[in-house]
Amino acid sequence: MKLGTRRRTYLREAMVMLVLARLAVRFVPPQQLFAWADRPPRRLRRFAADEASWVAWAVETLGGRTNALCLPRALAAHVMLRRRGIASRLCLGVARKDETIAAHAWVEVGGDKFAGETEADQYTRIAAYGSVA
């Protein structure tokens, strides 16, 4: 597959997944959403690091352009990774910022952080859904 075709393919899928993730965050009860995110992928592919980086690139590129919040970005990345058989973990964390508490969501694949990784180190993980092989 040519590079331009691959980029467009990942960007199209990321756009659809971001829209669906935004709708899910808004209309699906959290317990259903996180129960779904906790399920393992149907098939498991262990050597797909290249695809994981493409997913992260597509979600971050479109998420930045559309001002998507971290939870829809993380959900979209989690879905795209699961579709490819890549085991991932959706993580939620909190941190104290000045006098307030801030929340953040990100995705981990193996030991690497995707979809929100720039800020993830500042947050204490309070929940994780899914599995990392």
Q: Would the pTM of this model clear 0.85, i.e. be above it?
A: yes
The predicted pLDDT at position 58 comes to 93
The enclosing H or E element of 114 equals strand 112-114
With bands split at pLDDT 50, 70 and 90, how would you rate the model's confidence at 33?
very high
Supply φ then ψ for residue 94, to 5 degrees. Answer: -130, 155
Matching residue, tokens 């075709």: 5
Matching residue, tokens 């559309």: 66
Res. 68: pLDDT tops 90: no
